[in-house]
Structure 1
Amino acid sequence: MSKLGLLHYFLGLKVEQTDNEIFLHQAKYVNDILELFCMTQERPVSIPLAVNHGISLDSEGEPVDPTYYRAIIGSLMYLTALKPDIMFATCLCARYQVNPNTVHLTTAKRILRYLLFS
């Protein structure tokens, strides 16, 4: 093996190394998924999940593309490693990946809007 120098990026994480510490940043990954799901121009929100969210299996709404919904949830699940503040909301949305509807998609997109705020 040859010495390639310090590690700068690994699996979408920015890595900063000093003599005593290693810092991991997901800012680039957050920006990439916001651009992927066309959420960069949306209005930010200060909390990832509304207080009376009303999301359940029986939520009323039109069915949405499950593949698109799963892509959002998968991206958010990767973020929960370094952003535990979105853990509850993301896991709540992950329960409805089989038959998502507009209520579930709106809740998932709210989490993305929260990432704009944080």
Structure 2
Amino acid sequence: MKNQLLPFLKYFIPFSFLLLAAQYAIVNYMLDVNLYYSTLSVYLFHILATFLIYILLVFVHKTFSDKTGFAFMGLSLLKMLAAVIFLLPIMLNDAPNPFQDMIAFFVPYFLFLIFETTFAVRLINFK
């Protein structure tokens, strides 16, 4: 498990912190907007979800290597459901600028999804 987790972490930690710093600077200093969720809480969601998905994928790959792709699809579906539940208070509480909140959430969502997909494909093709 270590031989597949260390390369992931080597790229994941800098990727996460660079995105967090960039969005934090843009939202708080350049645009100066008030969002329903702080940038830190949005990134905490994305970082935890991506890390848990990859750990579960490595586990599935070790035990049932032919089911890794199916596990990735199922875990991605669960992540989408978790994202909807995470964003539900914005939709229900009449947030002042829901579009800005959605953009602040979904831009990193798709960037983390691309990152996840890249490492899931590497894991599936790992011999």
The alignment's TM-score, normalised by the length of structure 1, stands at 0.31
Higher normalized strand content (fraction of residues): 1
The alignment's TM-score, normalised by the length of structure 2, stands at 0.29
Return the structure number with greater relative CO, CA threshold 8 A, min gap 6.
2
